[in-house]
């Protein structure tokens, strides 16, 4: 399916058109999570029904323990997002580790729109926040 990610708060487009592949589709190869490498090519994303992170305490979920979840190339969001000013969410040694909650904001309204991982020990990935973004299909 093809579509565009939007900020739910202000409606701003966060990407151009992106092709999304479902990890439930047996014909789709599950992405390779190589350190320092994009999880997918620009212009595409994966829709996963497995979270990127798992919590062992249901009363205390970790930030990326939700589904469905989109796994996108950070390049597709670069022009529409900026880092949060919350320094506790900007951890990492040479990039962002993405382990402490949403770290990217909509440039228009400053809503928390997702989590970027760009550290040397993480894949390069952007995970849009489920409650603050929406994927609007452009194909039928």
pLDDT by residue (tens digit) across 119-136?
999 999 999 999 999 999
Radius of gyration of the chain (CA): 14
Q: Is residue 15 part of a domain?
A: yes
pLDDT band with cut points at 50, 70 and 90 for residue 32? confident
Q: Is residue 101 part of a domain?
A: yes
Contact 2, 21 (CB under 8 A): no
Res 140: pLDDT: 65
Q: How far apart are CA 40 and CA 50, in angstroms?
A: 17
Res 30: pLDDT: 86
Domain count, the chain: 1
Q: How far apart are CA 114 and CA 24, in angstroms?
A: 22
Residue 139 predicted with pLDDT over 90: no
Which pTM was predicted?
A: 0.93
Q: Is residue 129 part of a domain?
A: yes
Q: Is residue 60 part of a domain?
A: no
How large is the greatest C-alpha to C-alpha distance in the chain, in angstroms?
43
Q: Is residue 47 part of a domain?
A: yes
How is 3-53 classified by DSSP, letter by letter? EEEEETTT--B-SS-EEEEETTSTTSPPPP--TTSBSS-TTEEEEESS-SS
Residue 89 structural domain: 2-51+65-137
| Structure-token match 């249901």, residue found | 58
Q: Is residue 81 part of a domain?
A: yes
Q: What is the CATH number of the domain that holds 85?
A: 2.170.150
Q: What percent of the chain has pLDDT over 90?
A: 84
Read off the tokens for 69.
């979840």
Q: Is residue 57 part of a domain?
A: no
Q: Is residue 97 part of a domain?
A: yes
Name beta bridge partners: 117. 125
């Amino acid at each position: 399916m093809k579509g565009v990610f939007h900020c739910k708060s202000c409606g701003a487009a966060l990407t151009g058109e992106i092709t999304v592949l479902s990890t439930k589709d047996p014909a789709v190869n599950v992405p390779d999570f190589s350190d320092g490498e994009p999880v997918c090519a620009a212009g595409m994303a994966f829709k996963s029904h497995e979270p990127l992170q798992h919590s062992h305490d249901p009363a205390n979920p970790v930030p990326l323990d939700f589904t469905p979840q989109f796994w996108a190339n950070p390049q597709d969001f670069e022009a529409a997002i900026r880092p949060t000013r919350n320094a506790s969410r900007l951890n990492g040694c040479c990039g962002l580790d993405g382990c402490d909650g949403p770290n990217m904001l909509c440039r228009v309204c400053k809503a928390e729109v997702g989590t970027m991982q760009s550290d040397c020990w993480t894949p390069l990935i952007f995970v849009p926040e489920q409650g603050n973004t929406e994927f609007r299909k452009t194909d039928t």
